[in-house]
Amino acid sequence: MPVKRLKEFLDTHSIKYVIISHSRAFTAQETAISAHISGKELAKTVVVKIDGKMTMAVLPSSYKVDFGLLRKVAGASKVEIASEKEFKDLFPGCEIGAMPPFGNLYGMEVFVAESLAEDEDIAFNAGSHRELVKMAYKDFERLVKPKIAKF
């Protein structure tokens, strides 16, 4: 079952979603293969620090964050990847590395890659390394209100 906080949030907003169970996987690419989803369709959440503030960068699992582009998009002087030690306590109920891209539930700003915004659906880790949530991208965007950018 997805992390309780996420499930309650989606249910409260009457969002249609599907839970996809898969073999335990730790990388985004392994997850895509295990769940039989294209790497372009599976979103991964990368926790970054933008001028010291914890932020989520959400992009297709086959992509990498371009820190220079993200710095420009965010109008920041410094962007760096956050260490697991720095963010592990920010996502109660989630396994490390499997947090859903709902920064609004965790007091974090969210940047989403424009290539994901062009898709009809979005799939992402549901708080564990064994489950994904798949839902309409437009619902995700309406609930999370991410900044859409190329990074």
Residue 1's pLDDT is 55
pLDDT in tens, the chain (151 residues): 567 889 999 999 999 999 999 888 878 778 888 888 887 789 999 999 999 999 999 999 989 999 999 999 999 999 999 999 999 999 999 999 999 999 999 999 999 999 999 999 999 999 999 999 999 999 999 999 999 999 9
Whole-Å CA distances, 95 to 35, 39, 54, 131:
18, 21, 18, 11
In this structure, are residues 130 and 21 in contact, taking their beta carbons and an 8 Å threshold? Answer: yes
Helix (H) or strand (E) run with residue 53 in it = strand 53-60
Residue 29's pLDDT is 79
Residue 12's pLDDT is 97
Residue 23's pLDDT is 86
pTM: 0.92
Q: Residue 103 sits in a domain of what CATH number?
A: 3.90.960.10
Tell me the three state secondary structure of residue 113: strand
Residues whose CB is less than 8 angstroms from the CB of residue 122 and which lie 6 or more positions away in sequence, other chains included: 41, 43, 116, 134, 135, 136, 137, 140
Residue 13's pLDDT is 98
Residue 30's pLDDT is 83
Its domain, for residue 115, covers 4-149
Total domains in the fold of the chain: 1
